[in-house]
Amino acid sequence: MHEYSIVTALIEQCEQLAANNNATAITRVEIKLGILSGVEPSLLATAFDTFKLVGICRDADLVMKLQDLVIICNDCGKQTEHKQRNVLCGHCMSSNTQVLDGEDMMLMQLELEQL
């Protein structure tokens, strides 16, 4: 289950950002999670709840914004958004497409507390 290693890296990144900003606590962690990221949202949430128990993230809520798959067709030039793993153009049904968004997991925002 690679979600545990992902959460470990996420919490380390949060701790570093909190230290850089002299924060004493993190109350909210917002991430963008793409459909093609290879990360299962429910497993990620469970891993976050497990690993946040000790440290600056212990009271943090994890907010996941699921990113649709956004592709552009190399044949007709049109852009399509899919809510599922589908790389076919929604206009001409070509498979000659390029992914523009929906492959990544990104830390988008932290809410920090300072003394």
pTM of this structure: 0.85
Angle at 83 between CA 77 and CA 108, to 5 degrees: 95
Q: Residue written as tokens 């932290």? A: 110
Token pair 């599922």 is found at: 84
> Which pLDDT value is given to residue 109?
97
Cα angle 108, 8, 51; round to 5: 100
76 is in an annotated binding site: yes
Per-residue pLDDT of the chain (115 residues; tens, 9 = 90+): 588 899 999 999 999 999 999 999 999 999 999 999 999 999 999 999 999 998 899 999 999 999 999 999 999 999 999 999 999 999 999 999 999 999 999 999 999 998 7
Ligand-binding annotation for 89, yes or no, is: yes
Q: At the topology level of CATH, where does 3-113 sit? A: hypothetical protein PF0899 fold (3.30.2320)
- Residue 1: the pLDDT is 55
Gap between the Cα atoms of 92 and 8, Å rounded:
42
Q: Which two tokens stand for residue 99?
A: 């992914």
d(CA 10, CA 104): 13
Place of tokens 């830390």: 107
Each domain of the chain, given as residue ranges in start order, spans 3-113
Q: Is 82 annotated as a binding residue?
A: no
Whether residue 2 is annotated as binding a ligand: the answer is yes
91 in a known ligand binding site: no
Kindly report the CA angle at 23 between 37 and 43, in degrees rounded to 5?
A: 25
